[in-house]
Amino acid sequence: MLTSKQRAQLRAMANNEDTIVYIGKSGITENIVKQAQDALKAREIVKCKVQENSPLSAREACEKMSELTQSEQIQVIGSRFVLYKRNPEDAKIVLVK
């Protein structure tokens, strides 16, 4: 479980991240989940965007993607959300205590 300080650190880091996963009119597909999982493994933090033609809100998409990728929900703002999953084999992000 992340502390409030760690969540704040991850939110700040997400500001510098590009959006990697786009969720469109097909919603959350197997391919979208795979893309997010690969990005989480490589980067640990992933910014996603729900496009206007998506049947899901950003909050709904964040909750579902978090569940499917077994990642932490960090932030939802407008149509974007951020997920985090520590890679125990190759940790990229050092979190504050």
Question: What are the structural domain ranges in the chain?
Answer: 4-84
Q: How far is CA 34 from the centre of its chain?
A: 13
Q: Which SS3 state, helix, strand or coil, does residue 10 take?
A: helix
pLDDT, residue 50, reads 97
- Tens place of pLDDT per residue across the chain (97 aa): 899 999 999 999 999 999 999 999 999 999 999 999 999 999 999 999 999 999 999 999 999 999 999 999 999 999 999 999 999 888 899 999 8
Q: How far is CA 26 from the centre of its chain?
A: 18
4-84 has CATH 3.30.70.330 classification? no
List, in sequence order, every beta strand (DSSP E) within 18-68.
19-23, 45-50
